[in-house]
């Protein structure tokens, strides 16, 4: 298909300009010398220096990273379990309900998830205090629990679609040859989905690192994550140091995703090649 | 037989043997299902059921600030009655839904040709371009909204560029100093389109990529003009992709909190903000819950329509030889 309609290509070009001009403009203005964030006043890296001297920003970033690491790991384990359950166990009691339960957080508006989780946490905390006299406070734990719940469904979606594409015959063959279910899982299913598990973890990590709405409902005094800090600052307007912070975030995440993408792509291609070679050798 | 071989290869300690056998036989499957099931029930379903129940409660000056059966009847429909009577809620719903619908339409108008364009470029270029579509999705949502705040301000280069284009087009006495973009509905719709466009492009692309191009060519060979081919062949076949993309944009856009909060008009009520204000400032948990439940109901409608659509399409497919 070599026909290249001019209209489609120009919309494509316009679309990519639309995607990237705002981000590029933000990056350029992070090197702006002037105090006003929107008028150019010469090149400078002083906002970066200012940023790295700001303990508040560093503390918030560290808290965000800790929450993201914890929640992404737990969410990946739970999400992979749910994905395997939905893609490989054809019939179990409550399957339809379970698949609805897994997709619901994906389409639920974040405000509603946030508010219901907050009400739940408040009631639980009241209960704990009334029953055991145990005073609890919202913070790291509540944010992490909410992030796990929210992001595990994304992991499930990725795992499920990978398993749907994968050939179930290999697993069945292993089972026919006398492998026990757990062995099949460990030696065949998990290696097949390992790239999907990695991308699921990455997605869960960035979702957690990025979340504002659900975090703002589940956070407590003294637990300010980076997005919450940025949110409270940008409500007051555009400032050059937030431009610098945004540039760092965008570059780190962007580079990470690009590198992970290239590595995953290469691993996948190598596996396809191996599979082809094995297939030819058997012919 | 498998039990014997397992016992031979690794003689287990007596206490763990039973657990391991149970796990190997059937327990592993139950565990794989039950763990995420229980987790989601506790941390997602239960909170949601609490909110649904709460929408029938009354607000009281206690802590926590609600109770059931204040006026004698256990279920209190007053919150929902207020939802219909009070102009604030009606306006919030109307404005939010109008903005979300407009943004969805614009996403479709930009995203459709982009997705179609992606299927018409070479394979290697396509992979790079797809990556470029997905990349903004990975970078911070908040920062993408923030990037537009920088562009829309009255003395930004973008605003001055648009102003000078406008001034060049209109007669001199219509000339303006700058365009008020921040804190308008226009800004909300624009940034919503910007933020959610990948959600429209990706399902559309997935759908269009699978279409059989020989159908296009056949129509072309039979003398159809390209635009007619698009209208008669491509567009009808891509309806599932359009619906999937539209839902992924419309539903989260309805309850959006960040975009109206940063670039929207503060005096205009939006559902997301109404919910969080009722909860945090007014401390009216039952009312916040009622608005949430109503918002969900309004979205269950389109979703049921979609499942209906899907089921019908599947049925049709099954009927065909």
Straight-line distance from the first to the last Cα atom of chain A, in angstroms, rounded to the nearest whole number? 33
What pLDDT score was predicted for residue B308?
A: 65
Nearest CA in chain A to B151: A22
| pLDDT over 50 (residue B310) | yes
Cβ pair B274, B92 in contact under 8 A: yes
A159 versus A176: the higher-pLDDT residue is A159
Is residue B17 over pLDDT 80? no
- Which residues does A267 contact at the CB level (< 8 Å), separation at least 6? A195
Cα B282 to chain centroid distance, Å, stands at 27
Q: Say if CB A136 and CB A128 are below 8 A apart.
A: yes
Give the span between the Cα atoms of A114 and A112, in whole angstroms.
5
* Model pTM score: 0.85
For residue B18, the SS3 value is helix
Of A102, A114, A242, the CB nearest to B40: A102
pLDDT digits (tens, 9 = 90+) for B164-199: 999 888 888 888 888 888 899 999 999 999 999 999
Question: Who wins on pLDDT, A90 or A9?
Answer: A9
- CA dihedral of A148, A154, A160, A161, whole degrees rounded to 10: -160
Best of B147, B202, B273, B283 to disrupt the A interface (most A CBs within 10 Å) is: B147
d(CA B125, CA B7): 56
| Rounded-to-integer distance, Cα A152 and Cα A139, Å | 20
Nearest to B50 among A120, A234, A246 (CB): A120
Superfamily grouping for domain B86-283: MetI-like (1.10.3720.10)
* Residues on chain B touching A114 (C-beta within 8 angstroms): 276
Residue B216 has pLDDT above 50, yes or no: yes
Say if residue A38's pLDDT is above 80: no
Q: What integer pLDDT is reported at residue A73 of this predicted model?
A: 97
Q: CATH class for domain A51-238? A: mainly alpha
Mean pLDDT lowest for which of A133-137, A241-245, B181-185, B305-309?
B305-309
Residues B139, A81: C-beta atoms closer than 8 Å: no
Which residues belong to CATH 1.10.3720.10 in chain B?
Answer: 86-283
Axis-axis angle for helices A226-234, A55-88 (nearest 10): 120
Q: Which of the residues B111, B140, B159, B216 would you substitute to probe the A interface, choosing the one with the greatest number of A C-beta atoms within 10 Å?
A: B140
The verdict on B206 touching A (C-beta cutoff 8 Å) is: no
Domain boundaries, chain A: 51-238
Query: What ipTM does this complex have?
Result: 0.88
Residue of A nearest to B43 (CA): A149
Residue B298, both tokens? 């309004």
**B288 and A115 in contact by Cβ < 8 A?**
yes
Residues 161-180 of B with CB under 8 A from A: none
Task: Tell the burial category of B161 from Cβ atoms under 10 Å away from its Cβ (0-12, 13-18, 19+).
Answer: exposed
Q: Give the mean model confidence (pLDDT) for residues A230-249.
A: 86
How many CB atoms are located within 10 Å of the residue A11 CB? 21
Quote the tokens at residue B155: 């003395």
């Amino acid at each position: 298909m070599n026909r290249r309609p001019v209209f489609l290509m120009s919309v494509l070009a316009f679309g990519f300009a639309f995607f990237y001009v705002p981000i590029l403009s933000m990056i350029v203005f992070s090197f702006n010398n002037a105090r006003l964030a929107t008028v150019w006043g010469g090149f400078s890296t002083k906002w970066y220096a200012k940023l790295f001297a700001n303990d508040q920003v560093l503390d918030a970033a560290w808290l965000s990273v800790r929450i993201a690491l914890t929640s992404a790991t737990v969410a990946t384990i739970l999400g992979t379990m749910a994905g395997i359950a939905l893609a490989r166990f054809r019939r179990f009691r409550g399957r339809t309900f379970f698949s609805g339960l897994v997709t619901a957080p994906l389409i639920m508006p974040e405000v509603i998830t946030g508010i219901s989780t907050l009400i739940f946490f408040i009631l639980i905390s009241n209960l704990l205090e009334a029953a055991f006299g145990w005073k609890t406070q919202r913070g790291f734990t509540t944010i992490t629990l909410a992030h796990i719940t929210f992001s595990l469904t994304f992991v499930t979606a990725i795992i499920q679609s990978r398993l749907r594409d994968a050939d179930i015959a290999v697993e069945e063959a292993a089972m026919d040859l006398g492998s026990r279910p757990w062995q099949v899982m460990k030696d065949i299913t998990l290696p097949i989905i390992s790239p999907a598990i990695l991308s699921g973890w990455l997605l869960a990590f960035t979702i957690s690192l990025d979340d504002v709405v659900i975090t703002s409902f589940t956070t407590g005094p003294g637990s300010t994550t980076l997005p919450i800090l940025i949110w409270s600052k940008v409500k007051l307007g555009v400032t050059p140091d937030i431009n610098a912070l945004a540039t760092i975030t965008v570059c780190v995440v962007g580079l990470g995703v690009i590198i992970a993408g290239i590595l995953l792509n290469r691993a996948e291609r190598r596996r396809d090649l191996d599979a082809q070679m094995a297939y030819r050798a058997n012919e | 037989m498998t039990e014997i071989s397992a016992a031979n290869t690794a003689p287990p300690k007596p206490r763990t043997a039973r657990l391991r056998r149970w796990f190997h036989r059937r327990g592993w499957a139950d565990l794989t299902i039950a763990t995420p099931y229980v987790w989601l029930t506790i941390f997602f379903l239960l909170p949601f059921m609490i909110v649904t129940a709460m929408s029938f409660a009354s607000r009281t000056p206690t802590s926590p600030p609600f109770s059931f059966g204040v006026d004698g009847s256990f279920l209190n429909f007053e919150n929902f009655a207020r939802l219909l009577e009070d102009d604030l809620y009606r306006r919030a719903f109307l404005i939010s839904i109008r903005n979300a619908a407009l943004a969805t339409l614009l996403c479709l108008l930009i995203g459709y040709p982009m997705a179609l364009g992606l299927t018409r470029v070479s394979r290697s270029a396509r992979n790079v371009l797809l990556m470029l579509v997905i990349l903004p999705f990975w970078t911070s949502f908040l920062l993408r909204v923030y990037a537009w705040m920088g562009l829309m301000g009255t003395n930004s280069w973008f605003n001055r560029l648009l102003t000078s284009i406008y001034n060049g087009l209109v007669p001199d006495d219509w000339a303006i100093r700058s365009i008020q973009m921040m804190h308008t509905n226009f800004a909300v719709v624009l940034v919503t389109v910007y933020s959610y466009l990948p959600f429209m492009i990706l399902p559309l692309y997935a759908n269009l990529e699978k279409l059989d191009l020989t159908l296009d060519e056949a129509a072309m060979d039979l003398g159809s003009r390209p635009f007619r081919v698009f209208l008669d062949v491509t567009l009808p076949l891509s309806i599932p992709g359009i619906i999937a993309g539209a839902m992924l944009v419309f539903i989260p856009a309805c309850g959006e909190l960040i975009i109206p909060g940063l670039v929207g008009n503060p005096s205009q009520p939006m559902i997301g903000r109404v919910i969080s204000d009722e909860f945090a400032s007014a401390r009216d948990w039952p009312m916040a819950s009622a608005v949430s439940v109503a918002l969900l109901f309004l979205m269950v409608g389109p979703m049921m329509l979609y499942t209906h659509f899907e089921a019908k399409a599947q049925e049709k497919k099954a009927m065909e030889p």
